[in-house]
Amino acid sequence: MYSYTPLWQTMQRRGITTYSLVNHYGISSHLMSNLRHNKNVTVETIHRLCQILECTPNDIIEIVPDGSAQTINKTR
């Protein structure tokens, strides 16, 4: 599972709003909805956000283990 909590924190630190991403940087409102709901986005999207926010992927996304990931690790 993905969490974009770091994105919202990075945006706040950089003073960039969702409005700004949509209206000044051309990020679609559909993409913003996906981010708000922790849905999958492309690596290209992560790259573009990193360029806009002048940050690294760790400042945008974190991977949160879910039950299936823990099960996979236990079988090794």
Give the model confidence (pLDDT) of 21-58 as tens digits.
999 999 999 999 999 999 999 999 999 999 999 999 99
CA end-to-end distance (rounded Å), the chain: 20
Per-residue pLDDT at 73 exceeds 60: no
Instruction: Give the pLDDT confidence score for residue 74 in this predicted structure.
Output: 52
Instruction: Give the pLDDT confidence score for residue 1 in this predicted structure.
Output: 86
Measured between alpha carbons, how far is 2 from 38 in angstroms, rounded to an integer? Answer: 6
pTM of the complete model beyond 0.75? yes
User: Please, what are the domains in the chain?
Assistant: 2-74 (1.10.260)
Mean pLDDT over each residue of the chain, to the nearest integer: 90
